[in-house]
Amino acid sequence: MPTHPNITVVTGAAGGLGSAIVESLLRRGDRVIAGDLESASFDRLLIALEQNGTHAGASNLITVPHDVTSAESWAALRERAREKFGEPSVLVNNAGISPKHNGLKLDGLDIPLPEWQAVLDVNLTGVFLGIQALAPAMKNAGYGRIVNMSSLAGRNGGRIGGVHYATTKAGVLGITRAFARELADSGVTVNAVAPGRIDSGMVAMTSDAYNEEYRKLIPVGRLGSAADVAYTVAFLTAPDAGFITGTTTDVNGGTHMQ
C-alpha cells in the first residue's frame, strides 16, 4: 500500500467523463496528470473545477497535450508526471472515440477501413500503449491501479456506436483480463468499467428525442451521470481495492445484468 497520495494519469481528460473523473480524484487528494488530444478543451475542465470549488486542488493537477495512439506521446506524458509529482501509480485509460455521421453511426458493412483503424487505434491500442508505458514502474513499486473504460456496447454489441466501437469495447474487456492476470502478483490491479448511456460527452452527439426513448429502456429510469462513472473509477483505484482485479463493473442503471 502506498504511503503517499495516488499519482494518477487520466486520458481523454478534457471530455465529459474524463473531467468528472479528474474532479473526483482531485477531491480525494490524488495528484492528477490530465491528458487529452484536444488540449484547448482543458479550458472547459478548468472552468468546471473552479465552478465546483475544486480549485483548491488545482495545484495537484497538470494538463498535458497527449495522444494515446503514440508511444512517444506516452513517454512524454510520463516524463511530465515524473518531473511534477513522481512516477504514476494509477492509470485511467478513458480516451475513446465513436465516429458519427450527421449524428448517426455507419452500418458495419459501410465502415471504411481508415475509420475502422482509427477507432481501433484510440480505443484499444491506446489502452495497450498506456499500460506498456506506465505499468512497468508500478510493477517495480509493487503497487498500481489501472482502470480501462469499456462500454455497455462491449457487452451487448451496442445500439449507437458502430461495429468498430463495440468491437474495441469488447476488446477492452479482454486486455483488462489478460493484463490483470499478468500483473496480479505484483500489486497492480487492472479492471474495466462499462458505462451504459451516460448523460455526458458522447451522448450529446445524439438527439434529445433519442435519449428520451433510450431512457425508457433503463430500469432505474434515468440516464447515468458522469459522477456515477467517476465514483466507480474512484472505488476501483482506491488503495484498499487491492483484491479486485480482472473485473468489469457495469454502470448502466440495470440495462444489462449478468
Ligand X SMILES: NC(=O)c1ccc[n+]([C@@H]2O[C@H](COP(=O)([O-])OP(=O)(O)OC[C@H]3O[C@@H](n4cnc5c(N)ncnc54)[C@H](O)[C@@H]3O)[C@@H](O)[C@H]2O)c1
Q: List residues with catalytic annotation.
A: 165
| Joined grid coordinates for residue 75 | 513517454
β-strand partners of 146: 91, 190
- If binding is defined by CB under 6 A, does position 15 make contact with ligand X? yes
Residue 87 or residue 199: which is nearer to ligand X going by CB? 199
Q: Which amino acid is at 81?
A: A
Residue 101: helix, strand or coil by DSSP?
A: strand
- If binding is defined by CB under 6 A, does position 248 make contact with ligand X? no
Minimum separation from the CB atom of position 14 to ligand X (A):
4
- If binding is defined by CB under 6 A, does position 69 make contact with ligand X? yes
| Joined grid coordinates for residue 237 | 483505484
- If binding is defined by CB under 6 A, does position 11 make contact with ligand X? yes
- If binding is defined by CB under 6 A, does position 92 make contact with ligand X? no
Minimum separation from the CB atom of position 165 to ligand X (A):
7
Q: CA–CA separation, 34 vs 14, rounded Å?
A: 8
Q: CA–CA separation, 32 vs 248, rounded Å?
A: 23
For strand 144-149 and strand 90-93, is the pairing parallel, antiparallel, or unpaired? parallel
Q: Which amino acid is at 89?
A: S
- If binding is defined by CB under 6 A, does position 171 make contact with ligand X? no
- Contact 217/255 with Cβ under 8 angstroms? yes
Among 202, 230, 234, 236, which residue sits at the site for ligand X (rule: CB under 6 A)? Answer: 202
- If binding is defined by CB under 6 A, does position 130 make contact with ligand X? no
Minimum separation from the CB atom of position 148 to ligand X (A):
9
Backbone angles phi, psi at 174, to 5 degrees: -65, -45
Among 197, 232, 249, 255, which residue sits at the site for ligand X (rule: CB under 6 A)? Answer: 197
Q: Could you list the residues that contact ligand X (CB under 6 A)? A: 11-12, 14-18, 36-38, 41, 66-69, 94-98, 122, 149, 151, 195, 197-198, 200-203
